[in-house]
Amino acid sequence: MSIDMDTAIYNCAKECALKRANRHCKNVFDCIECNNCRFYIKKYMNTKVSSNQVDLYMMQVELDIGIMKAKNSGYSVIWLMILAIFGIIAWSYFTMENHLKEKSQYYEQYNNNKSSYISPPTFTIVDNVNSTLWKVSERLTNKEDVNGDGLVNCIDAAVMFYELFQDKSKVTITLNYNTPKMNHLFNTVNINGTWRAIEPQAYWANKASFYMQDVWGSDYVSSYNQNVTSRYLQYVK
């Protein structure tokens, strides 16, 4: 059987380089331990070949190995990207399919048994208060001056709250004038048939409660409340 020595030596050198690149061999090439390794190419090369030539040969082989590993790594990244894309598509498909299935079952149940249908929870007046307070807080943080007096204070907060509150029949702009304890603008909201005083700056000021009595304590006396909505409507957008 004939052997192509150049190919055989190259394959032997490649195996040597791979074992060192992958840390399967921790020896430096051409050290004493290499004489015990069957992939040590000096065993098979012509004795007339100098050590420098052998080192140059191994450098070329190691360069080839590096290029090969870089290509394989690149292919792996590409395949991972392709698998990730297919995974996202599959997840989106099954999520949409389950959503459509649930929606179909919901309407089927509704149509088959309308008498037992339970409507979803409605947006309560307290939910409306909470939502409005968060919006007011955001606008106060942005230093919005609704009446152009150069200040950001209770006037701006009360006008914003009134403007943003959905049901105008259940909200007022209210003044409590009781000097020296209080000279303050806020809002009152009809919550389940009872008019409750609301501090529109509550969430902006990080208060635990939005009720005037909780925020201001004994300084707030409700008998001094005045409905001044009409006075401030000019600032409502």
Domain residue ranges in the chain = 1-114, 125-235
Q: How sure is the predictor about 78, in pLDDT bands with cuts at 50, 70 and 90?
A: low
Q: Which single residue is written with the structure tokens 């048939």? A: 193
Residue 101 has a pLDDT of: 64
pLDDT tens for 173-188 read 999 999 888 999 999 9
Residue 77 has a pLDDT of: 60
pLDDT tens for 26-62 read 888 878 888 888 888 877 887 777 878 878 788 888 8
Residue 148 has a pLDDT of: 95
Contacts of 228 (CB under 8 A, 6+ apart): 173, 174, 175, 185
Residue 19 has a pLDDT of: 81
Q: How far is CA 121 from CA 31, 108, 112, 193, in A?
A: 80, 20, 21, 19
Amino acid identity, residue 134?
A: W
Residue 21 has a pLDDT of: 78
Q: What percent of the chain has pLDDT over 70?
A: 76
Q: Has this prediction a pTM greater than 0.75? A: no
Residue 90 has a pLDDT of: 57
Q: How far is CA 136 from CA 158, 196, 225, 229, in A?
A: 9, 18, 22, 17
Q: Which of 65-69, 72-76, 135-139 has the highest mean pLDDT?
A: 135-139
Q: How sure is the predictor about 162, in pLDDT bands with cuts at 50, 70 and 90?
A: very high
Q: How sure is the predictor about 206, in pLDDT bands with cuts at 50, 70 and 90?
A: very high
Residue 73 has a pLDDT of: 58
Contacts of 221 (CB under 8 A, 6+ apart): 176, 178, 181, 182
Q: What is the mean pLDDT of residues 166-178?
A: 95
Contacts of 197 (CB under 8 A, 6+ apart): 174, 176, 186, 187, 188, 211, 212, 213, 220, 222, 225
Contacts of 170 (CB under 8 A, 6+ apart): 125, 189, 190
Q: What percent of the chain has pLDDT over 90?
A: 45
pLDDT tens for 14-29 read 888 888 877 888 888 8
